[in-house]
Amino acid sequence: MRRWLLWGPVLLLSLLAGGWFGLKYSKVGQQAGLGAGYIAHVVCSCRYVGNRDMASCRTDFEAGTEIVQVRDDVAGKRIIASVPLLARREARYDPEFGCALDKP
């Protein structure tokens, strides 16, 4: 019994970590990265090329991208988009070239 009290939480954490790694690097994780990158670029273009506000830019989201969370860094002129625990991408505005995604 004492052994289970010690090794039970370790086993549970190992299973959870393995599941997270499996999900992050699976097709679901790849799709999360694509979705975050797409939204980051679309919202960056909307905000800094189109000069629209964030509420207006949210209407440009495609169906199925509702899970992507978006943050606007006004000082850095960049948009950070993420799918919690799976993916994070940034798009930065350059006055000469427009919005460009970071390297994944």
What percent helix, strand, coil does the chain show, rounded to 5? 50, 20, 25
- Predicted confidence (pLDDT) per residue in 16-54, tens digit: 655 555 555 667 878 889 999 999 999 999 999 999 999
Hey, which bits of 13-86 come out as E strands? 69-73, 78-83
- Mean predicted confidence (pLDDT) in 82-88: 91
Higher-confidence residue: 14 or 23?
A: 14
Which class for 36: exposed (0-12), middle (13-18), buried (19 or more C-beta within 10 A)? buried
d(CA 78, CA 98): 11
Residue matched to tokens 């988009």 = 81
Residue 72 · residue 47 · CB < 8 Å: yes
